[in-house]
Structure 1
Amino acid sequence: MRLALVTTPPSVRSGIGDYTRHLLPYLARKVEIDVYVAPKYAGEALDADYGGGTARSIDELDPRRYDRILYQVGNESNHAFMAAAMKRLGGTVCLHDWVLFDMALAAWPALGRGGAKGTALALREGGPAQCSRYLRNFLDRRRQKRARVEEPDHAALRGELLAGWHAPEPNGRWTCDFGSFRIPVERSVRVDEVVVDFHAAAGRTLTLWQGSGRAAGFTTRPDHGDDAFEVTPDPARDLVFVLRVEPVEVTPEQRAHGDTRRLGAFVKSIRYRVGERWTDLDLSLPQAHPFVPVTLSRDRFDLPLNGTIVRHADAFIVHSEYVGDHIRRERGAQAPVGRVWHGSERRWDERDRRDVRAGLGLEDEWLDAFLLVSFGGVQPHKRIDKLLDALVVARRSAPNLRLALVGKVAGDFFDAADEVRRRHLEDAVRLTGFVSEEDGWEWLRAGDLSVNLRGPTSGGTSGGIFQSFGLGRAVIASDAAEQAELPDPCTVKVPLGASEVESLARTLVDLATDRERRTRLEQNVRRFVEDECHWQRTADAYLEHLESFPPHRSR
């Protein structure tokens, strides 16, 4: 068989890219493969995992030269080029996610802008129900854009940055219609001066308030948008300040860049003086009452926007019946759909976990702890909040529990470090940030158990779970959607719902105190990898399905 593989090149690192890199050598043992990529990556050298040679432009793919065309498609913006190729060429899709929200927004940018064109695209890619959701989101965005943001009770909030702040930027931070902060000193300490450096668009009036008392005011001019408030705080009032801006509206420059945020003032710095000593507030701190603007991403899990891929593919390979059933509902029961396990490699070893932890530089109290490891992007839909809540409860009975969140923190307005701080878990949780795949494997080797929850879900089978299996580690997962199909002998499943935290905490304590059960789970994991999901078995299953599927319609 001669196979055209449509994917991303090695330089584009992602979960699906890693998947393709692991699968390809095993496929290449039995078929001849040429790799096709987006035109901008054409000519890029392919490493040994890709079979060497160079990547070819999708525009050069001649369907008559191949027995099959195979696409690796998932919810990644770098897959946007595959939509047009699918319409033109057809072929078999390995559909990694049912929700293709990010891919769709990259393929058709008008979706992100809204309006008539965006609505028409939402109808085409998602059908009437998704179009209705899209329109509700658009109207919510427009209402928020036009209405002044409601203020909370600033004095009741804790911390330094209180409310009204957009995400931090390298040189400061935007407020919305207001931004509030507290000077963090004891009530007995006299603060002599507070200075707020800012920039605002021409014609805006800025006022700085301390409690109900106005401390300063300023109206910007076309030639003078940068200034500073220098105020002496009223010692009779709490040191809570609110910077208010009027009017606030989306500027033409913002619209030109697709930015519809309500931007009041850009605060460059906030400083205060006690005696002769000046101190800066840290503008990168999380705020106590987050301002969460409505974005299209709010409804991402309800907007699969996958119509072009699902309608125009000739056949499908999936990793779960959850995704397969969705395809059949759209295409009919006779749609060619083949299910294969996400692959895994035998990477376990017999090193003492204590030694592995020491090699990672973990402190002494972590060396003998019961260590949970979550490998992959740290995102809200992985139910990090529920996991942390359960850890708090479980540590009352098993105080030696520790958790490593291994991966880049991602997600709009999600601050994992603050989630940890608010639960006073700083000593029990490690946030590594982005690590290489190889370093991620070391963390899994160091752990006693892997945890990878989901909800809501894009339908994507977790590569982190199968990486855990490859390191010989059992997994705690959610008993829902695609995760419900994970093999029971290797996986401990926790139901979603009102009892989730209680159930998860009980599971953590039970596993932390039952070495024999953990040993059985790990033995089952190794058998599952050997017998069912090793990459060679996954590649063989691919070929069986490709041979049974119809060829691409453009052949």
Structure 2
Amino acid sequence: MQHYTRLAFVSPIPPEKTGIADYAAELLPELARHYEITVIVQQDVVGDHWVQANAPIRNGSWFRKNERNFDRVLYHFGNSPFHDHMFDLLAVIPGVVVLHDFYLSWPVWHRDEHGSDKDGWVRVLLQEHGWNTARARLAVTNRTDLVKVVNTYPCNLNVLQQALGVIVHSDFSRQLARQFYGDQAAEDWTIIPLLRQPPLQKNKVTARQNLGLSPNDFVVCSFGVLGPTKLNHHLLKAWLASPLATQSHCFLVFVGENDGGEYGQVLLKTIARSVAKDRILITGWTSNETYQDWLVAADMAVQLRTLSRGETSAAVLDCMNYGLPLIANAHGSIDELPVDVLCLLPDVFSDSQLTEAITALYHEQSGLNKLSTNAMAYIRTQHSPRFCADQYSEAIETAYSKAEQTIYGLSQQLPQISPSLSINEYLHFANALAANFPPAPRIRQLLLDVSAIVSSDLKSGIERVVRAILDRLVESPPEGWVVVPVYATNDQQGYRNARQFMCRFLDIRADWAEDSPVQVWQGDVFWGLDYHPYVVPAQESILNTWRNRGVRVYFVVYDLLPVLMAEAFPEGAKQGHHRWLQTITRMDGVLCISQSVADELYDWLQVFGDKRESPFSVYWFHLGADVDKSNPSFGLPIDAAQTLHSMTARPSFLMVGTIEPRKGYLQTLHAFDLLWAQGVDCNLVIVGKEGWKLVPGPQRYDIPKIVECLRTHPECGKHLFWLESSSDEYLEQIYTVSTCLIAASYGEGFGLPLIEAARHGLPLLVRDIPVFHEVTTGQAHFFADTRQPEVIAEAVIHWLAHYHKGQHLRSDTMPHLTWIQSVRNALDIVLGKSAPYVTWMPDGIRRYWGSDPRLHTEVGQTKGCSIKTSGIAGFLIYGPYERYEAGRYRIILKGEAERLTGNEILNLVCNHGEFRLSQVNLTACEPGQYHQEYDFNLDTTYDDLEFQICVTEETDFIINELMIIDQKNEIPLILSA
């Protein structure tokens, strides 16, 4: 006796009112030639006689308990609630999926709405398309909004990923898969034509009698449920414009249920107002027998479509199957039909084109006959049930054979291979499988690290940038990617989805959102958008694991100021920033927010960069300036109008930024004290919060002094205004009424207020530092980079003189980017479309800054990258206690020497300073730049080599850099100060 493979056939069956039920009933008898079939349904009554007589009928609950009794599973998915139960079954019992409709959004919505998967729709939308679609779903308040969202997003990705194989009925579904999920999404899908049973041999005369038609009537039919996507209104208008509308024997019949909304009402009103109102009919839902009568009785059919969701029109094939001459537009799968089996209009057609086609076929019986003959022949050869069932069997067996080599095959074999595994071992094995077998198809993830603003959004500085970039990416994610904000903490390994934060960020309800652990696969990109110096080093092992899986990891570098200007930052900031830089430069690349920062980072890499096997990429991009696109804050204080009026009464100089030591506020305040003492009538307006409120008092440097001055100054409210809590809305108005922006920072990564000011045409008076030259492109007045208040006071007087003559430099032509442009440039970098500004690899030269943390001091004073003598004799530097192989080396010492006595000594020692290898006196020189080279030999390897530079009380010397070159490596000396 022949053994048949056991197949679970999961599908609705008649009498369910869905075309897929009828399709299943037609397929089953022929598919039973290949399999021993059990039908799995979720309905109380099965009315198909063949199924009742030939196949066991079971429900989903029974199937879950008896799944191991089956060798194969075949699911029939369609875009209706008849398939609700299949989602949960497929999740636990894999099988081959027949995707009758590419879109599955209606059953996903239905499961959400009716409680079987509460909030499942928003989770699916988030997974497939990101936060903008989740926001759109949660904003749905009426039927129109609902239909728009449902018809826009397919919501089928989970089904495709869980399927062992996918069968579709046209190439159009594969095109949609490639459109939504990438070029490789549907490469192994099988196309099997929608089968059609040979039509019942019905007599046309009898059919017309059944329908109340006369033998001489000319009947044009359109089959299927009416609705906007069926373009029924175009058919109605075109038929009414044709000669048929005035012929008493011509009828237009819509065989199907009318749309239940406004669209259906408009159709009924149009019909009622027409001259042919008695000859236009909408039948409503019909039985199969009546449906077939209309197919036999009609003389012509018109089937139109738009906004196809990947379904294959059963009605089109029914018309062709019955030899009914057909007019259709070339939309979706219809465009794949041979041109000689129907009258094919363009996808987007005019009403007059449709009228002409109807009229031409009405007058040409031979054309009708030819289309009828060709259509029936095509259906007989390409859509017969036996032909299609044979293809089904082949596709199912191929899919299961391939699945044996995937996660499905391994999971099936695991109980036999290792029956004694513990629960933890099973979980470990499952995680390993998930990591090595990514779901397919898959949308690549752009993971945005927003850890800092998740924990505390200060809404200033870096946080404003993060919010602006995040807002742009949510609104317009890169094609083929889903944007996934993530966060981590420094006390727990791993990143989590920042869903609760995003709900707050987008102002949407959050009761559905879970901050679940992040999963990554090859091809994803991690973009460290936020700055969190403690979290990133704590997550380095996770980031390295991700890189080993094929995830590219990039970070944004806003500045190196805690390292380059450590004296202007709280205790520990330098060490934390240095550790953060060391971590991120072990990844794939960084995006600096200016070319100046990129140059500084390259210099830092030359000194501190770790060994690596591939070049490290350094990029730069500029920030945007349109505040309204940075998720702005709103609101005006009570005294806003009075303050704005006071600013217009005299020239107002504006400073924008948090109150911090490096911003130059105290120097500027002292400068304006000099100006006001001289009777210069001008305002100083400061917009910025008090910074470092949580930092211990002694480490806040001059912040308390600045704040006290701002609050108690005699000119406060007269010529001096401190707007401590300013919304973005208020700041926009302040920019508008200000006269000039002062940027007095001693160091910046970019200087966003300069761009924002230029966007308002505000002139610029700025400190002479490299990044301000880069950002302003010279369209600003500069003052010297010193700490003397007189320099700023003189610059203001000089600027006012030019201003009153109309000779000041203007900034309104200064180039600047919108946030859309800025984010586009950054995306080109992280998505691999832009070449790096520079790449870095270790060159074998050991470099140390004067203030290098690997070096130590007894008597020196560090400032920036340098170390300076203090008038006390002793070790200016000593260290770094590192391993040096035997060989010839050259020491290059660079700095600034005001006075060298000739008694300064460079020692080379080991064994913790107990054994001196070499000693030389530093060469005396004229005051100015110092650059000297000293050679030394090592006859053996030393593990703790130490360099000591001893100075006297009279020495006045700054060390900027110490370089050690192994002279056996012929490396060109490209030295940086």
Shorter-normalised TM range: 0.5 to 0.7
Per-residue CA shift, 1:177-225, capped at 9, x if unaligned? xxxxxxxxxxxxxxxxxxxxxxxxxxxxxxxxxxxxxxxxxxxxxxxxx
For 2:120 and 2:282, the matched residues in 1 are separated by: 42
**Of 380, 391, 394, the match for 1:544:** 394
Indicate conservation of the 8 Å contact 2:217/2:250, yes or no: yes
Change (3 A) 1:63 1:384: same
1:85-96 equivalences in 2 (<5 Å): 85-96=89-100
The within-5 A match list for 1:18-29 is: 18-29=22-33
Rounded to whole Å, the distance in 1 between the matches of 2:22 and 2:46 is 17
* Identity score, percent: 24
Q: Residues 463 and 531 from structure 1, CA distance in 2 versus in 1: closer, same or farther, beyond 3 angstroms?
A: same
Instruction: Report what 1:370 is aligned to.
Output: 218
| Equivalent in the alignment of 2:444 | none
Give, in whole Å, the separation in 2 of the partners of 1:12 and 1:102: 17
What amino acid maps onto 2:276 in structure 1?
Answer: L
Counterparts of 1:428 and 1:418 in 2: how far apart (Å)? 14
* Structure 1 counterpart of 2:212: 361
Deviation at residue 493 of structure 1 after TM alignment: 1.6
CA deviation vs aligned residue, 1:90-118 (integer Å, no higher than 9, x gap): 2111101111121111233389999x875
**Are the counterparts in 2 of residues 9 and 55 from structure 1 also a CA contact under 8 Å?**
no
Match of 1:404 in 2: 253
1:535 maps to 385
AA paired with 1:103? P
The reply on whether 1:344 has 2:196 as its aligned counterpart is: yes
Q: CA deviation at 1:51?
A: 4.7
Mapped to 2, the partners of 1:313 and 1:419 lie a distance apart of: 46
Aligned-residue offset at 1:334: 6.5
SS of residue matched to 2:139:
helix
Report the alpha carbon displacement of residue 379 of structure 1 after superposing the two structures with TM: 2.3
Distance in 2, matches of 1:538 and 1:122, equals: 34
Residue 475 and residue 132 in structure 1: after superposition, are their counterparts in 2 closer, same or farther (change >3 A)? farther
The answer to whether structure 1 residue 296 and structure 2 residue 146 are counterparts is yes
Which residue is equivalent to 2:41? 37
Change (3 A) 1:520 1:118: closer
Maintained 8 Å contact 1:28/1:51: no
Deviation at 1:482, TM superposition (A): 1.6
Distance 1:461 1:50 in 2: 28
Matches within 5 A, 1:238-257: none
Q: Determine the structure 2 residue equivalent to 1:382.
A: 230
- CA, structure 1 residues 53+527, in 2 after alignment: closer, same or farther (shift >3 Å)? closer
Determine if the alignment matches structure 1 residue 55 to structure 2 residue 45. Answer: no
Q: Distance in 1 between matches of 2:120 and 2:87?
A: 18
Cα distance in 2 for residues equivalent to 1:384 and 1:70 = 35
Q: Deviations over 1:26-83 (max 9, x none)?
A: 1113321111123x64x96863246545421223334433332111100010201111
Alignment check: 8 A CA contact 2:39 2:55 kept = no
Give the whole-Å Cα distance in 1 for the aligned partners of 2:146 and 2:370: 45
Q: Matched residue of 1:3: which SS?
A: strand
CA deviation vs aligned residue, 1:402-428 (integer Å, no higher than 9, x gap): 211112223433234234224443133
What is the alpha-carbon distance in structure 2 between the residues aligned to residue 113 and residue 294 of structure 1?
A: 23
Partner of 1:270: none
1:425: which partner in 2?
Answer: 276
Q: CA 1:89–1:350 in 2, change beyond 3 Å: closer, same or farther?
A: closer
Match of 1:136 in 2: 136
The equivalent residue for 1:440 is 291
2:104 aligned to which of 97, 100, 106 = 100
Q: How many residues align?
A: 394
Q: Which runs of 5+ in 1 are unaligned?
A: 142-260, 262-292
RMSD: 2.8
CA contact (8 A) 1:111 1:122 kept: no
Answer 1 or 2: higher relative contact order, Cα 8 Å, separation at least 6.
1
- SS at 2:74 equivalent: strand
One-letter code aligned to 2:107: M
Letter in 2 for 1:391: W
Sort the Cα spacing of 1:117 and 1:51 in 2 relative to 1 into closer, same or farther, 3 A: closer
Q: Distance in 1 between matches of 2:209 and 2:283?
A: 15
How far did 1:435 drift? 1.0
With over 3 angstroms needed to count, the CA separation of the structure-2 counterparts of 1:323 and 1:390, relative to structure 1, is: same
- Determine helix, strand or coil for the equivalent of 1:372: strand
Name the structure 1 match of 2:335: 484
1:392 is matched with: 240
* 8 A Cα contact 1:9 1:46, kept in partner: yes
C-alpha contact (below 8 Å) 2:235/2:354 kept by paired residues? yes
Q: Deviations over 1:129-156 (max 9, x none)?
A: xx52452364363xxxxxxxxxxxxxxx
Q: Aligned pair in 2 of structure 1 residues 396, 60: CA closer, same or farther (>3 Å)?
A: closer
Q: How does 1:8-27 map to 2 (within 5 A)?
A: 8-27=12-31
Q: Deviations over 1:493-516 (max 9, x none)?
A: 22243x421111111011111111
Equivalent residue for 2:308? Answer: 457
Query: Which range moved further: 467-476 or 509-518?
Result: 467-476
**AA of the residue aligned to 2:106:** D
- Counterpart-to-counterpart distance in 2, 1:30 and 1:540: 8
SS in 2 for 1:433: coil
CA distance in 2, matches of 1:460, 1:368: 36
Aligned residue for 2:39, secondary structure, equals strand
* Number of the residue aligned with 1:203: none
What is the identity, as a one-letter code, of the residue corresponding to 2:369? T
1:523 aligned residue: 373
Counterpart CA distance in 1 for 2:175 and 2:364 is 37
CA distance in 1 between partners of 2:48 and 2:240 (Å): 47
Contact 2:328–2:342 (CA under 8 A) maintained in structure 1: yes
Cα distance in 2 for partners of 1:503, 1:134 equals 40
Residues 480/345 of structure 1: CA separation in 2 closer, same or farther (3 Å cut):
same
Contact 1:111 1:119 in 2 (8 A): no
* Mapping for residues 65-104 of structure 1, pairs under 5 Å: 65-104=69-108
- Corresponding position of 2:126: 123
1:73 is matched by which residue type in structure 2? F
SS at match of 1:457: coil
- Equivalent residue for 2:354? 504
Q: Sort the Cα spacing of 1:44 and 1:452 in 2 relative to 1 into closer, same or farther, 3 A.
A: closer
Is the 2:254–2:282 Cα contact (8 Å) retained in structure 1? yes
SS state at 2:340 partner: helix
Q: In structure 2, how many angstroms separate the alpha carbons of the residues matched to 1:387 and 1:45?
A: 35
**1:50 to 1:480, Cα distance in 2 relative to 1, 3 A:** farther
- The answer to whether the Cα contact below 8 Å between 1:348 and 1:470 also exists between their aligned partners in 2 is no
How far off is 1:456 after superposition?
Answer: 1.7
